[in-house]
Amino acid sequence: MDPLWYKDAVIYQLHVRSFFDANHDGYGDFAGLKEKLPYLEALGVNTLWLMPFFQSPLRDDGYDISNYYQILPVHGSLEDFKAFLDEAHARGIRVLIELVLNHTSIDHPWFQEARKPGSPMRDWYVWSDTPERYKGVRVIFQDFEPSNWTWDPVAQAYYWHRFYHHQPDLNWDNPEVERAIHEVMFFWGDLGVDGFRLDAVPYLYEREGTSCENLPETIAAVKRLRKALEERYGPGKILLAEANMWPEETLPYFGEGDGVHMAYNFPLMPRIFMALRREDRGPIEAMLKETEGIPEAAQWALFLRNHDELTLEKVTEEEREFLWEVYAPDPQYRINLGIRRRLMPLLGGDRRRYELLHALLFTLKGTPIIYYGDEIGMGDNPFLGDRNGVRTPMQWSSDRNAGFSRAPHHRLFLPPISEGPYSYHFVNVEAQQENPHSLLNFVRRFLALRNRHAQTFGRGSLALLPVENRRILAYVREYQGERILVVANLSRYTQAFDLPLEAHRGLVPVELFSQNPFPPVEGPYRLTLGPHGFAFFALTPEEPLRVQTPDWKEEAVPESVPEVPLKEGPEILFVETLAEEGSRKAFLDALTQSLRGRSWLALKPERAELLDALRLQKDPPLYLTLLRLEGQGVQDVFLPIRFQPTMVQAPGLFARTWPKEGYLYELSQDAGFYSLLLERLARGFEGRSLKAYYRGHHPGPVPKGLDLLHPGLAAGEGVWLQSGLVQDGGLERTLEVLPQLPFPWILSPKGRLLWERGGQRRVLALTGSLPPGQPREAFALAQAMAAEGLSRLQGHPLPVESRGLLAEALRELEALARLLGVRLALLHQALAEAEGEEGGQPLLGRGLGAFLEVAGEVYLLALGSRGRGHPLEDLARLAYDLERAVALAWEGSEETPWELRSEVGEFLEEALLSAWQSAAQAPPPEKEAWTAAMLRWSEAQLLREDHPARQRIHERWRRKAQET
């Protein structure tokens, strides 16, 4: 266990009685909390803080404990708690509980015994014959208590209490009291809880002439508590101090690393709200500087409200009056020295301010705490009295009692919010699960982002940037080389500003949510943020690698290759009348062996036959060959082969020759060949082999060079060229049929290279024009979109419960899937008209490889050969490619579980099928037929390349086939 785990934690605070009622008695319980652990895991929290669940008369929501060792019966039994704790730990969720060490309930047996005259436990509490002791000590709950002393008629004395009169303070000057509290801690620690929140810790000791707060004796007692905890359990369990004090008063609780592990940053919290309202970062900056200097192993806990209120104790009187006026002008929302409101109503329902505050909560230095229900924007009910208005049942659905309990409404411990804009009919988990733009999914996405960079945000340094515009708060978090820039606009208006990033010159800001790179830092960095906007950037040494490569790899130059006997020139390998059979056989065997490893071929050749060859270039010799490959099927391919007298570092080397020294390269991956062929076609191409004529032309422009998009497909400025490497005979159909289809997103061929012999004709290559822009093969486009979308899903536990969350993260890729589904339906209809119903339906031979993306539009430029099968096969081909694009986008990434990639694949499959079904006005494919088609494609593709991604996809569809 990492002993500093609490620095990387995200804490979720909840009342057990408010969360979920499993036994339908009107009170939440541990069985219900256990049932909702998947929700909490999916939210992205990894630590739970449970408010008091011990035996109590509930005069103060459980902080008035009458038995430290018993669970309040409405919450369940100790066995229920253990079952919940085991399940939480199994899900990687830690649990913190309350250690209420300052006071008990008046109903506690300790106090009842201490009241009796002459009792040996009298000294367990603080008594006095007069209320004049400790004069001048402030009364914390001024709205409810006139004094810190209350007369007890049984004891015939006054007892001391810093909070309610029904909560007498324990006497920590009595060593027996301290030992008893240690035993309580050990009892729950032995059960497996991961830490303790020390409630009201500043008030343990009393001394005349002092404020009775933060006394040296209290600090020493906290250190003894820490020592006892670690002596019994070693490192790993933590203490979190609730010390609502000024910074200089809280810092001693950390000690020199021998005090509490964490403490609440009470002074910072109200100043976040002050800065937001004043639209000036000053209050935040000032308090960040005041709270620096804690021990390295210590940590602040950050929150947006104390669990009961926006507490205003640690502000000046003027600041308190200001905050009351702007956030609680109605006095009924004021309580003690705070504001009893939930977060969303406190912000007037302003979504932008809500998101901005969470941006600060999750990125400032410290461990964030979320109060239950704030992730969906729950409201409050001030008419419930005290602070019960912010403790209402969790709103799970619009069903009865907000889905919290099936008990009769009158038996609920508190009524859910049922009226107004925060009514559970409108604000609930169920309604927000599927809405990608809901508050719930916003928090999920944000926590996933934070969890991906947990150590940087939890442990990293924080450097404030002196931006001239005071409405902008900007800082850099840095840890072990990772630097993250956070920029927040505190204003309700759009702001332009310059960030002083000279110290980070040369780095590239990469926006974390989208993974989009921004221009490199060269000096003051100009940005603009909308009202209450924010942005996070990873400052990286260079633009990260964008996953743009399609489903093929440039071949590395092999260390050794087969040897082909060659006494004279390479023509003896290609020209029929000059051929030497031994040399040609060795040449074809070497070529076959090399092509067997090419994943872009539709089969694994066992042998190759040279059907024809034509020399395109004399020096170095370059031949256009027409080959017949035989394996599990037969495929004719058009392949350029070059003889190189000296070895060059280039892909495609497959043999060396001897005694005439030289090297043979197949040029499927050589962009220079495609440029050369285009130039020759533009000049008008005519050639003659012993067997056939070669004729071709290209009527369009000839750019300086072409980029290879895929073996057999290259493109340049305004031009594309494809050759017959992977078309399975589809070039003939492309040339004949594509110009007949009446769609603006079709790239009809303009030029061609033909092989002709008598009445026979083969299309060896096609050319056409492109609109302006950088072309990209659709498979590469899908990979890039998948990489971007999966990066947004990092940190989300499996399964991704909300399809809305998937839709938001993968919006671009889902849109591509739907676009392809619609266009596939339209193409099938158009082909039926152009070719006739019989045999006219099949479309795609190479799936996504048949499409190009240019300037945001997706174009079709190739058809498959006839006789390929039913439209279902085309849908399966596209679905397979989309799923594999997801797999390849994060190939080798340990951060992305295979289950998540499969889940994304199913999501895209549904998008493709539903779009096709709607456009084709056809019933959905039958499940059995669809599964069989996907299994056939996965088997066929596995034969092309024995790759882990292909294996996993095939295994998934094999299991599905067995299930159906």
SS (H, E, C) 640-678: EEEEECCCCCCCCEEEEEEECCEEEEECCCCHHHHHHHH
Sequence-distant (≥ 6) Cβ neighbours of residue 52 within 8 angstroms: 61, 62, 63, 65, 98, 100
H runs (alpha helix) in 537-580: 571-574
Whether 842 and 867 have beta carbons less than 8 Å apart is answered as yes
Whether 512 and 542 have beta carbons less than 8 Å apart is answered as no
- 563 catalytic? Reply is no
- 242 catalytic? Reply is yes
Token pair belonging to 183: 């035993």
How far apart are the C-alpha atoms of 557 and 38, rounded to whole Å? 50
For 111, other C-beta atoms within 10 Å of its C-beta total: 23
Whether 52 and 99 have beta carbons less than 8 Å apart is answered as no
Dihedral sign, Cα of residue 395, residue 401, residue 403, residue 407 = positive
- The DSSP code for 196 is E
In this structure, the strands spanning 472-479 and 461-464 are antiparallel
Q: What angle do CA 614, 616, 617 make, to 5 degrees?
A: 135
- Among the options 80, 199, 666, 873, which is catalytic? 199
How far apart are the C-alpha atoms of 630 and 607, rounded to whole Å? 6
For 735, other C-beta atoms within 10 Å of its C-beta total: 17
In this structure, the strands spanning 157-160 and 127-128 are antiparallel
Peptide bond into 799 cis (omega under 30): yes
Residue among 165, 231, 175, 163 nearest 200 (CA): 163
Which helix (H) or strand (E) segment holds residue 528: the answer is strand 525-529
String of DSSP letters for 127-188: EESSTTTTTTPPPS-TTT-S-SEEEETTTTEEEE-SS-TTSPBB-TTSHHHHHHHHHHHHHH
| Burial state string for 328-363 with b = 16 or more CB within 10 A and e = fewer than 16 | beeeebbbbbbbbbbbbbbbeebeebbbbbbbbbbb
Q: What are phi and psi of 861, to 5 degrees?
A: -130, 5
How far apart are the C-alpha atoms of 913 and 925, rounded to whole Å? 8
Chain position carrying tokens 């541990």: 30
How far apart are the C-alpha atoms of 749 and 471, rounded to whole Å? 57
- Among the options 194, 242, 788, 873, which is catalytic? 242
Whether 22 and 31 have beta carbons less than 8 Å apart is answered as yes
Which helix (H) or strand (E) segment holds residue 87: the answer is helix 78-90
Residues pairing with 474 in the sheet: 487
CA 116, distance to chain mean position in Å, is 60
Burial of 838 (0-12, 13-18, 19+ CB in 10 A): exposed
How far apart are the C-alpha atoms of 11 and 303, rounded to whole Å? 10
Q: How far apart are the first and last CA of the chain?
A: 43
Q: How far are the Cα atoms of 51, 59, 234, 386, 438 from residue 169, in angstroms, in the given order?
A: 19, 15, 30, 21, 45
Whether 225 and 202 have beta carbons less than 8 Å apart is answered as no
β strands within 244-333, DSSP E: 262-264, 299-302, 310-311
Chain position carrying tokens 């919010």: 417
Indicate which residues carry an active-site annotation: 199, 242
